[in-house]
């Protein structure tokens, strides 16, 4: 195998290096560093993990081990309009699973994935504190309540239209 | 020392404070079954995540069962290792593990040597209540690299490989990834081993209890080459093979089987049975000359001379510095490893002698090593795409070939290697263990440098199994500082010292595997028994003692080679055939200024 050179935008690498420095490049701070890097980038691409491994003197395999272990961390970039379907108890008993199914079908992606255009990403979460509106989904931070599977198409189209303008 | 008294299975035992229940039981002759636990005595290698739960025992007053491998003995503890509750728990643990494991024992290359299989036999597992729906079972692609096959469907997550890769070798290619059923030991981003910092040392394979990590099997290629009438087969055998192969046939560890090994190779039908020891002597001529050359320049006040010189016989070590310390790649000797020197000479010097075309010769090596399989495939060791060494098999694969050919190994007569690439010295055989290469180099370099006979031949100060050793050898008034490291974590320490400018060695020998080649990734499995390594180690020095000639430069066949073919060590022809160069293989992150 030959030398592998990973190219990165300067502003991204500068920021990651700054985050690592903030934690004194201490290997024990890996989770904090990953947290803040994901806050900044929205996800943890392989390049970012390589750089963090280099700065913290941890094997890249170990960094990836942590990223793949915790469901909070993701290697998928978030879509422009992240969709989160609440699977908390109240939403669940009122049919949240069918809402999630409808989003999967409409967007053509599974939870944890982002569509090819980078427009939508889909996740499920546990309770947004709007149980009175169950079942609930969040699209780009906006709450949609009392959903039925039939509403999903029009919500998605609304954002597609918005993006065209 | 503080001791503790406790009771295990109604018997009292007294142990030092800090002893685990597992080891206390061992003292009483009670062998509690283990799977993930791995302790390699004398090598400072431990794996005890307490994860597999096969070793659970009942401790009076404790609600749950305790894993014996990580639970320390306490005063007046009452332990039961074989109660109904314990046995049922063990069976359940085994059944759960087997429910996520392929049932292909008949075809598995680890069959008969598998620790999970041994446990299933020991506990009489006949059926499995936990075989679940398909989705409950993990499934992974089988990955083949130049040296190692990874079939992670068989992984039991003992994480011994991860421990060897990260703690013993500090290579960092492997880590546990994912969670739940998808959890497995893999590389960063699940990439192919070729794209990881893996050195192919094979220590992960050496400790894998199941068939998840195995060597690439080249035995079929060997048979094909032997039966092909258009090919001349030339085989070479590494020094460490002759002190370990006997174990595969029930002989006691440390048996020296050079003569039987030669007889077996001849019985298998190889056209020429030669010895890597021959090219080890050649390596000493080249590497020793290079060392003296650098030393003379250093003593002459040359500030640019690259010192310390590092040995370069071990391909896993070469991979290690190419990946992790590329900035030091000018330090190692440019001499090829004995395997590659042999190949280069077999396909030039010897091929000319027997009037055989390069492409009609198949050069095969028997090695204690997995990295050697990778090494023969490196591009710089090929001429017009034809490799100097066509392929390599391990000690274990050779044993399998011998068994398949109906050869009763223990009853074989003692035979001699063929000439001329089979003549060797005691200096060559000690290449098989840590400290051996540098001792062989000292025996020759002393005499070449001083022009006098060396006052001794056994350099006890260079021998041993401690991870890092050092000694100063008096070259007739000139003190030469020598460092030795085996196990890559120890190599790393010396390399960090070199980088920090804290190193005063003139020469350093490094071998990737703990103990050197005697404990290579291709040797018979030792299952953590350090006594086996010790026995092989002693056998290597015994084999050296039994040789009539014990200095590489006195090997008559090597002398003839220089006279007839090469000219002088490190001369023009040597450089062309016997020396190499190294590459920077580090993964680095750089700023892309175009974005």
CA-nearest residue to B374 within chain A is A1
| Cα-Cα-Cα-Cα dihedral sign, residues B326, B330, B331, B334 | positive
Tell me if A9 and B591 make a contact (CB, 8 A cut-off).
Answer: yes
Tell me if A10 and B591 make a contact (CB, 8 A cut-off).
Answer: yes
Instruction: Kindly give, in sequence order, each residue whose CB lies less than 8 Å from that of residue A94, ignoring residues fewer than 6 positions away.
Output: A134, A135
Give the pairing of strands B382-383 and B391-394.
Answer: unpaired
* Tens-digit pLDDT profile for residues B436-458: 999 999 999 999 999 999 999 99
Check: CATH 3.30.70.20 for B140-215? yes
Catalytic residues of B: 287, 290, 313, 333, 372, 375, 380, 517
Of A76, A57, A89, give the one whose Cα is nearest residue A116. Answer: A76
A138: buried, middle or exposed (CB in 10 Å: 19+, 13-18, 0-12)? middle
A69 touches B at CB < 8 Å: yes
Nearest to A8 among B166, B171, B589 (CB): B589
Structure-block tokens of residue B235: 């085989």
Instruction: Give the per-residue pLDDT at B595.
Output: 46
A76 touches B at CB < 8 Å: no
CA-nearest residue to A13 within chain B is B591
Residues from chain B contacting residue A6 (CB–CB below 8 Å): 587-590
Architecture of domain B3-99: Roll (3.10)
Nearest to A13 among B176, B189, B591 (CB): B591
* Tens-digit pLDDT profile for residues B213-255: 999 999 999 999 999 999 999 999 999 999 999 999 999 999 9
Question: What percent of chain B is helix, strand and coil (3-state, nearest 5)?
Answer: 40, 15, 40
A57 touches B at CB < 8 Å: no
CA-nearest residue to B589 within chain A is A6
CA distance B542 to chain A (A): 40
Residues from chain A contacting residue B179 (CB–CB below 8 Å): 68-69
A101 touches B at CB < 8 Å: no
- E strand spans, B391-533: 391-394, 468-475, 478-486, 507-511
Tell me if A4 and B587 make a contact (CB, 8 A cut-off).
Answer: yes
| Cα-Cα-Cα-Cα dihedral sign, residues B262, B265, B266, B271 | negative
Name the CATH topology of A81-164: Glutaredoxin (3.40.30)
Residues in chain B: 595
Helical ranges in B350-471 per DSSP H: 351-353, 371-376, 395-404, 426-429, 436-450
Tell me if A61 and B593 make a contact (CB, 8 A cut-off).
Answer: no
CA separation for the pair B267, B246 (Å, rounded):
16
Residues from chain A contacting residue B177 (CB–CB below 8 Å): 61, 64-65, 68-69
Phi and psi dihedrals of B588, rounded to 5? -130, 150
Q: What is the DSSP letter of B521?
A: T
CA distance B342 to chain A (A): 24
Distances (CA, A) of B586 to A8, B63, B201: 16, 51, 17
Structure-block tokens of residue B180: 């739940």
Q: Do the beta carbons of residue B306 and residue B284 sit within 8 Å?
A: no
A51 touches B at CB < 8 Å: yes
CA distance A47 to chain B (A): 7
CA separation for the pair B45, B26 (Å, rounded):
19
Tell me if B583 and A69 make a contact (CB, 8 A cut-off).
Answer: no
Residues from chain B contacting residue A64 (CB–CB below 8 Å): 175, 177, 188-189
Nearest to B587 among A6, A62, A68 (CB): A6
Tell me if A59 and B173 make a contact (CB, 8 A cut-off).
Answer: yes
Distances (CA, A) of B85 to B12, B59, B65, B268, B489: 21, 11, 9, 53, 42
* Tens-digit pLDDT profile for residues B297-350: 999 999 889 999 999 999 999 999 999 999 999 999 999 999 999 999 999 999
Q: Which residues pair with A142 in a beta bridge?
A: A139
Structure-block tokens of residue B80: 């039961």
CA separation for the pair A85, A98 (Å, rounded):
10
Q: Would you state the torsion angle of the CA atoms of residues B138, B141, B144, B150, taken in this order, to the nearest 10 degrees?
A: -10
Interface test with B, best of A45, A58, A61 (most B CBs within 10 A): A61
Distances (CA, A) of B462 to B287, B310, B484, B497: 18, 15, 8, 20
Nearest to A7 among B585, B587, B590 (CB): B590
Over chain A (165 residues), what is each successive 10-residue block's mean pLDDT? 77 94 97 95 92 95 95 87 93 95 95 90 88 94 94 95 89
The crossing angle, in degrees rounded to 10, of helices A10-22 and A30-41 is: 150
- Domain range annotation of chain B: 3-99, 140-215, 219-578
Q: What is the ipTM of this complex?
A: 0.88
Tell me if A9 and B585 make a contact (CB, 8 A cut-off).
Answer: no
Of B473, B426, B445, B475, give the one whose Cα is nearest residue B284. Answer: B445
| Residue with the two structure tokens 């050195």 | B199
Give the pairing of strands A4-8 and B382-383.
Answer: unpaired
Residues from chain A contacting residue B180 (CB–CB below 8 Å): none
Q: What are the residues of chain B with a beta carbon less than 8 Å away from any beta carbon of chain A?
A: 166, 171-179, 186-189, 194-197, 326, 583-593, 595
Helical ranges in B180-308 per DSSP H: 203-207, 219-227, 258-268, 276-299
Q: What residues 1-40 of chain A have any CB closer than 8 A to a CB of chain B?
A: 1-10, 13
Instruction: Give the per-residue pLDDT at B32.
Output: 97
Residues from chain B contacting residue A58 (CB–CB below 8 Å): 172
Of B489, B493, B501, B454, give the one whose Cα is nearest residue B475. Answer: B454
CA-nearest residue to B185 within chain A is A65
Instruction: Give the per-residue pLDDT at B591.
Output: 72
CA-nearest residue to B195 within chain A is A1
Tell me if B589 and A6 make a contact (CB, 8 A cut-off).
Answer: yes
CA separation for the pair B69, B36 (Å, rounded):
9
- What parts of chain B have a pLDDT lower than 70? 132-138, 592-595
CA separation for the pair B429, A103 (Å, rounded):
69
Tell me if B178 and A3 make a contact (CB, 8 A cut-off).
Answer: no
- Domain range annotation of chain A: 10-69, 81-164
Of B113, B119, B66, B73, give the one whose Cα is nearest residue B96. Answer: B119
Interface test with A, best of B138, B167, B169, B175 (most A CBs within 10 A): B175
CA-nearest residue to A63 within chain B is B188
Instruction: Give the per-residue pLDDT at A42.
Output: 87
Nearest to A64 among B189, B587, B592 (CB): B189
Q: How many other C-beta atoms lie within 10 A of the C-beta of residue B591?
A: 14
Nearest to A46 among B166, B189, B586 (CB): B189
Tell me if B172 and A59 make a contact (CB, 8 A cut-off).
Answer: yes
CA separation for the pair B441, B3 (Å, rounded):
48
Architecture of domain B219-578: 3-Layer(aba) Sandwich (3.40)
């Amino acid at each position: 195998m030959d030398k592998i050179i990973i190219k990165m935008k300067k502003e991204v690498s500068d920021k990651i290096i700054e985050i690592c420095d903030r934690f004194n490049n201490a290997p024990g701070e890996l989770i904090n560093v990953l947290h803040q890097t994901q806050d900044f980038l929205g996800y943890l691409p392989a390049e970012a993990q390589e750089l963090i491994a280099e700065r913290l003197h941890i094997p890249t395999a170990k960094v990836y081990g942590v990223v793949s272990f915790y469901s909070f961390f993701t290697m998928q970039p978030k879509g422009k309009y992240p969709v989160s379907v609440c699977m908390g108890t109240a939403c669940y008993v009122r049919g949240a699973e069918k809402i999630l199914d409808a989003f999967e079908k409409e967007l053509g992606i599974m939870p944890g994935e982002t569509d090819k255009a980078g427009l939508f990403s889909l996740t499920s979460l546990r309770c947004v504190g709007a149980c009175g509106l169950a079942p609930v989904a969040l699209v780009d931070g906006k709450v949609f309540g009392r959903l039925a599977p039939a509403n999903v198409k029009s919500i998605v189209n609304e954002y597609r239209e918005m993006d065209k303008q | 020392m503080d001791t503790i008294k406790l009771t295990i299975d109604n018997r009292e035992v007294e142990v030092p404070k800090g002893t685990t229940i597992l080891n206390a039981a061992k003292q009483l002759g009670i062998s509690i079954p283990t799977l993930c636990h791995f302790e390699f005595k004398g090598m400072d290698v431990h794996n005890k995540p307490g994860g597999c739960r096969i070793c659970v025992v009942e401790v009076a007053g404790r609600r749950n069962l305790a894993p014996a491998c990580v639970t320390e003995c306490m005063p007046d503890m009452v332990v039961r290792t074989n109660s109904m509750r314990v046995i049922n728990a063990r069976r359940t643990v085994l059944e759960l593990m087997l429910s996520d494991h392929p049932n292909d024992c008949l075809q598995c290359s680890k069959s008969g040597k598998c620790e999970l299989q041994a446990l299933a036999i020991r506990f009489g597992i006949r059926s499995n209540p936990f075989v679940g729906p398909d989705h409950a079972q993990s499934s992974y692609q089988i990955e083949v690299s130049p040296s190692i096959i990874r079939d992670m469907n068989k992984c039991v997550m003992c994480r011994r490989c991860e421990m060897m890769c990260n703690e013993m070798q500090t290579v960092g290619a492997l880590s546990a990834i994912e969670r739940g059923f998808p959890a497995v030991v893999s590389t960063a981003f699940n990439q192919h081993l070729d794209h990881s910092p893996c050195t192919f040392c094979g220590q992960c394979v050496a400790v894998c209890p199941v068939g998840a990590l195995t060597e690439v099997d080249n035995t079929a290629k060997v048979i094909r080459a032997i039966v092909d009438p258009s090919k001349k087969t030339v085989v070479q055998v590494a020094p460490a093979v002759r002190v370990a192969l006997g174990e595969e046939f029930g002989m006691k560890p440390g048996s020296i089987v050079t003569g039987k090994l030669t007889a077996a190779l001849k019985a298998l039908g190889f056209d020429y049975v030669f010895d890597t020891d021959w090219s080890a002597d050649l390596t000493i001529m080249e590497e020793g000359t290079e060392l003296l050359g650098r030393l003379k320049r250093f003593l002459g006040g040359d500030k640019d001379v690259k010192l310390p010189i590092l040995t370069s016989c071990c391909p896993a070590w070469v991979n290690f510095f190419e990946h992790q310390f590329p900035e030091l790649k000018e330090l190692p000797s440019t001499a090829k490893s004995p395997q590659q020197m042999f190949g280069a000479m077999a396909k030039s010097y010897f091929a000319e002698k027997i009037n055989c075309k390069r492409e009609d010769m198949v050069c095969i090596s028997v090695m204690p090593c997995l990295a050697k399989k990778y090494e023969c495939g490196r591009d710089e060791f090929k001429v017009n795409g034809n490799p100097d060494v066509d392929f390599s098999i391990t000690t274990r694969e050779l044993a399998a070939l011998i068994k398949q050919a109906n050869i009763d190994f223990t009853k074989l007569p003692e035979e001699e290697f063929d000439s001329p690439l089979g003549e060797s010295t005691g200096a060559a055989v000690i290449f098989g263990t840590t400290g051996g290469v540098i001792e062989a180099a000292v025996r020759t370099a002393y005499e070449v440098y001083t022009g006098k006979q060396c006052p001794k031949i056994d350099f006890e100060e260079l021998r041993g199994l401690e991870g890092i050793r050092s000694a100063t050898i008096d070259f007739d008034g000139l003190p030469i500082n020598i460092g030795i490291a085996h196990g890559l974590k120890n190599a790393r320490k010396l390399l960090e010292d070199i980088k920090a400018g804290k190193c005063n060695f003139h020469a350093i020998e490094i071998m990737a595997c703990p103990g050197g080649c005697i404990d290579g990734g291709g040797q018979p499995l030792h299952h953590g028994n350090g006594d086996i390594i010790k026995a092989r180690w002693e056998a290597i020095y015994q084999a050296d003692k039994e040789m009539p000639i014990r200095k590489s430069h006195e090997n008559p066949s090597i002398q003839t080679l220089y006279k007839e073919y090469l000219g002088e060590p490190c001369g023009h022809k040597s450089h062309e055939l016997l020396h190499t160069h190294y590459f920077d293989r580090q993964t680095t992150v750089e700023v892309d200024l175009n974005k």
